[in-house]
């Protein structure tokens, strides 16, 4: 449908017009034509893993599962909480 593209283009137009914007979106990550997860991307350009299929996180990292995806809560919070504050 183009929701991510719309957010990217709208934020670019607003930034170029001098309007301060902040936020984030998620972007599909593909490998060999197959979706393997999602990244979280801030409107300032920072990027990090949001989820991956069956990935295992290092000890001490918080995680949860949504369907076949393991969510990297630490990465998500590191990128998104400052934006939400």
Residue 12: strand, helix, or coil = helix
Q: Note down the domain range covering 25.
A: 3-83
Q: Which of 38, 36, 37, 50 is nearest to 79 (CA)?
A: 50
> 22: domain CATH number?
3.40.50.300
Looking at the whole model, is its pTM more than 0.85? Answer: no
State pLDDT tens for residues 15-59: 999 999 999 999 999 999 999 999 999 999 999 999 999 866 556
Give the total number of structural domains in the chain: 1
Residue 85: strand, helix, or coil = coil
Residue 78: strand, helix, or coil = helix
């Amino acid at each position: 449908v183009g929701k991510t593209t719309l957010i990217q283009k709208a934020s670019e137009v607003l930034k170029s017009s001098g309007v301060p914007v902040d936020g984030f979106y998620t972007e599909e990550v593909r490998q060999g034509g197959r979706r393997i997860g999602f990244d979280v991307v801030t409107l300032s350009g920072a990027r990090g893993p949001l989820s991956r299929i069956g990935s295992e996180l290092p000890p001490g990292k918080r995680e949860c599962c949504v369907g076949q995806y393991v969510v990297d809560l630490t990465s998500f919070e590191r990128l998104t909480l400052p934006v939400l504050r």
